[in-house]
Chain A
Amino acid sequence: MNRKQEGAPVVINESGIEIKPVYDAADVALSGGAERVGDPGEFPFTRGIHRQMYRKRPWTMRQYAGFGTPRETNERFHYLIEQGQTGLNVAFDLPTQVGLDSDAAMAEGEVGRVGMAVDTLEDFEIAFDGIDLEKITVSLTINGAAAVLMAMYFALAEKRGYDLEKLRGTAQNDILKEFVGRGTWIFPVEPSIRLVGDTIIHCAEHVPRYSPVSVCGYHIRESGADPVQEMAYGFCIAQAYIDHVLERGLDIDEFASRLSFNFDIHGNFFEQISKFRAGRRLWAHIIRDTYGARKPQSMWLRMIAGGGGGGLTIEQPENNIVRGAYYALISALSGTQTMALCSFDEAYTIPSARAARTSLRTMQILIEEMGLCDTVDPLGGSYYVETLTNEMEERIKSVMAAVSEEGGIVRAIAEGNIQSAVSRQAYEHLRKIESGDVRKVGVNCYQIDEDQPDIEFHPVKEEECRAKIAGLEKVRAERDNARVTDALRAVRDAARAGDNVMPAIIAAVTAYATVGEITDCLVEVYGRFPEPIRF
């Protein structure tokens, strides 16, 4: 906190906005007025994208889960559904995320570690066994290898006889943010965008209710961006995908309604809520005014929010349960569509069943006991929240304008400028925590000296990993390998010709081609991304 030389202390939030001790109607008017707020379910959707919001249906509860083999993950999925979870959010291990098979040399030690290991369609058949995918929607947290895993999901749906016209679900599939944070890229920037375009176009034409991309401000924030930059960079990235798809001939209203967003929650309470309300209004304006969309659904900022791993601490991990509860409250007050709450052990491991259940109960308590679903946007009209919403919107706009002036987001990412800026901020933020300028409970204040107990880690069973590799070898031996070879050639040919690769990839996964085999075909054509090392 900065302090003036004399008088009352100055309070400045993380986005750089000075917070006044008291707000009134004049502040709302000065910051842009209240008339721009509008009604819930009406343009510009500041108060929420639906008229009734949670009154009609609470947010979807979608805890992140997946580890070890598809069989173990399937058990966790069933457990979470029994506990009242209403959607699935699948974690994949790193080899799968970067397009490697479980028996690849680089996969050694990583199989099943941070998520479920997937090599072939058989793994999806096992992972989703006994789960009705027409009732439970599934979100695939996959990016570099998203086209392949989405193809697998569609192939599974087809095999089960589902109507693809009605199939819902989401893939994260936001490759641009992988270059900024997270890091599971495979191909260079341009073909990566093209691949995202292929999935959007394929879905628009064949799986119209599926959400092919969930644009993530989340990981950019986790990498060091402030809340304004989180929204601004997220929107710039979403626009990069939109511009690409428009160039390929689709109309904005044919696909914009299926784009969704994934945002972060940690830090100042009201700053986050205003960030979401501002973001919703700004996005509606961008889609209507910049792109000329006519369908209101195209203008909706649909989002998943609730997590914010960066806010959690390894010190005094039980404090994370409390932080998680506040994040859930922020998310509910912000009008999110889906919540995936960060679990209290997320700072050091993939969630245990107990931690995942605690997160689920946190959300259920808000719904069942706290009345968070009773009325829409309960903070609407607050002098403070409306003023801050106006101010956040202006700042998001100016960051977006700056990106555009400097040559656009795609160039900034390819050259490593955004990465360099956010990692510098992350360093500065950590320095402030270490110096005590930014207070973190249990870390630089209210620490305890006593020895912390050993924490529960998810055990990786090496025999399970070996069994996974043995299973992969069995699939390779038993499948029709001539058909696989042809299918892989078709993937390579489609990529080379610049055709939409999705039909060929779906045919390949249906023939039980592996994630690694298909990725290798695409690498032959597209190459690999050379990581820019900049400080």
Chain B
Amino acid sequence: MGAKIVVRALMDAGFEVIYTGIRKSGEEIAAVACEEDVDVVGLSILSGSHIPFCRRFRELRQERQIEDKLWLVGGNIPRQDETALRQLGVDAVFPVGSPLRSIVDFIKRSAR
């Protein structure tokens, strides 16, 4: 549900959003990001598997050559894991409770 809320907030802010739906593999997401040539990739992870998932997704970014795209992660992310995610190359982490405006503002400021 959080991801859908973020989608609405981004659409309201004027962005074009491709929502892949839930339960997608890293491979599927990287493929969509590559084919659609997006500016930003946002992952929503609630289960606690964000570190292994992002470790794998970093490799996929290299394989698909989409490392230039802004990489955001949101969801149920403990504060103490943010550094580890940043070290994997995540540009910003928006844990549960992040104001929607902060996500919109970050993308406007940073999109490459």
Interfacial chain B residues near A443, Cβ < 8 Å:
97
Closest to B12 in A: A427
Are A314 and B95 in touch, CB under 8 angstroms? yes
A313 at the interface (CB under 8 A from B): yes
Are B52 and A109 in touch, CB under 8 angstroms? yes
Are B97 and A314 in touch, CB under 8 angstroms? yes
Most chain A CB atoms below 10 A, which of B9, B19, B21, B47:
B47
Are A533 and B21 in touch, CB under 8 angstroms? yes
Are A114 and B21 in touch, CB under 8 angstroms? no
Query: Chain A, 26-49, contact with B by CB distance < 8 Å: what is the 0/1 string?
Result: 000000000000000000000000
- The minimal Cβ–Cβ distance linking B20 to chain A, given in whole angstroms, is 8
Query: Chain B, 19-32, contact with A by CB distance < 8 Å: what is the 0/1 string?
Result: 10111010000000
A297 at the interface (CB under 8 A from B): no
- The minimal Cβ–Cβ distance linking B52 to chain A, given in whole angstroms, is 3
- Chain B residues within 8 Å of chain A by Cβ, number: 29
Closest to B11 in A: A535
Interfacial chain B residues near A455, Cβ < 8 Å:
78
Are A457 and B52 in touch, CB under 8 angstroms? no
Are B97 and A423 in touch, CB under 8 angstroms? no
Are A426 and B48 in touch, CB under 8 angstroms? no
Given the interface pairs A183-B23, A349-B48, A460-B48, the reply to whether A434 lies near B1 with Cβ below 8 Å is no
Are A114 and B48 in touch, CB under 8 angstroms? yes
Most chain A CB atoms below 10 A, which of B8, B53, B100:
B8
Separation of A424 and B5 alpha carbons in the complex (Å): 8
State which size class the interface on A falls in. 35 or more
Residues in A99-158 with C-beta less than 8 Å from chain B: 105-106, 108-110, 113-114
Query: Chain B, 69-92, contact with A by CB distance < 8 Å: what is the 0/1 string?
Result: 000000010111000000000000
Separation of A443 and B96 alpha carbons in the complex (Å): 12
Are B11 and A94 in touch, CB under 8 angstroms? no
Give the residue of B7, B78, B80, B97 whose beta carbon is less than 8 angstroms from that of A535: B7
- The minimal Cβ–Cβ distance linking B95 to chain A, given in whole angstroms, is 7
Are A98 and B5 in touch, CB under 8 angstroms? no
Are B56 and A223 in touch, CB under 8 angstroms? no
Separation of A314 and B76 alpha carbons in the complex (Å): 10
Given the interface pairs A183-B22, A224-B1, A457-B78, the reply to whether A108 lies near B97 with Cβ below 8 Å is no
- The minimal Cβ–Cβ distance linking A461 to chain B, given in whole angstroms, is 13
Closest to A349 in B: B48
B99 at the interface (CB under 8 A from A): yes
Closest to A114 in B: B47
Are B96 and A426 in touch, CB under 8 angstroms? no
Are A454 and B80 in touch, CB under 8 angstroms? yes
A19 at the interface (CB under 8 A from B): no
Residues in A67-110 with C-beta less than 8 Å from chain B: 94, 98, 105-106, 108-110
Interfacial chain B residues near A223, Cβ < 8 Å:
1
Interfacial chain A residues near B78, Cβ < 8 Å:
348-349, 454-455, 457
Residues in A202-227 with C-beta less than 8 Å from chain B: 222-224
Closest to B76 in A: A348
Interfacial chain A residues near B64, Cβ < 8 Å:
none
Most chain B CB atoms below 10 A, which of A109, A181, A431:
A109
**B-side interface residues toward A, CB under 8 Å?**
1, 4-5, 7-9, 11, 19, 21-23, 25, 47-49, 51-53, 56, 76, 78-80, 95-97, 99-101
11 sampled A-B residue pairs with Cβ under 8 A:
A94-B47, A109-B49, A113-B47, A349-B48, A423-B4, A426-B4, A426-B5, A427-B5, A443-B97, A452-B79, A457-B78
List 6 A-B pairs, minimum CB-CB distance, nearest first.
A109-B52, A109-B49, A531-B21, A423-B4, A427-B8, A427-B5
Instruction: List 20 additional A-B contacts (Cβ < 8 Å) besides A347-B96, A533-B21.
Output: A109-B51, A109-B56, A110-B49, A314-B95, A314-B97, A348-B96, A349-B76, A423-B4, A424-B8, A426-B4, A434-B99, A454-B78, A457-B48, A457-B78, A533-B19, A535-B4, A535-B7, A535-B8, A535-B11, A535-B19
